[in-house]
Amino acid sequence: MARDVLEVGQVRIHSGSATREEAMREAADILEAAGAVTSGYFDAMQQREETVSTYMGNELAIPHGTNETKNTILASALSVVRYDGGVDWGGEPVTFVVGIAGRGDEHLEILSQIAILFSDEDDVERLKQAGTPEELYAVLSAVNES
């Protein structure tokens, strides 16, 4: 990948909660502001969620578009939002919402980096303890090394 998929400006922490739709909207808005997706990507995320939940376990959801909406992706990127008040993701408790946009097959490599990080409970705890977006970014920045 030519550029980092995650910049510190694409990482946010909220003390409160959000609905699943609000969380997906924020994930898409961050990706759009980063120049990675068009304004149609939020609709693509909603289409994906209607067919299969993007809840991954370990307090993680990874909303993303469908194969049919790949034309809304301009560049590979991530957005990361931690909701300390949680998000009800179709009945599952979510703290971390990681929006993903991948050009071609790049999303598979990015997903694998995220899966590795969130499969380790100690890493998830470090992500939860980060006090600022900069600290959270520091723990997550390994995704740029793929």
Residues classed as catalytic: 64
CA–CA separation, 135 vs 51, rounded Å? 34
What Rg do the C-alpha atoms of the chain give, in angstroms? 14
Q: Which of 127, 138, 52, 132 is nearest to 96 (CA)?
A: 127
Task: Assess contact for 14 and 7: CB atoms under 8 A.
Answer: no
Q: Which of 144, 17, 13, 4 is nearest to 80 (CA)?
A: 13
CA–CA separation, 99 vs 63, rounded Å? 5
Q: Which of 13, 90, 87, 25 is nearest to 51 (CA)?
A: 90
Residue type, 13: I
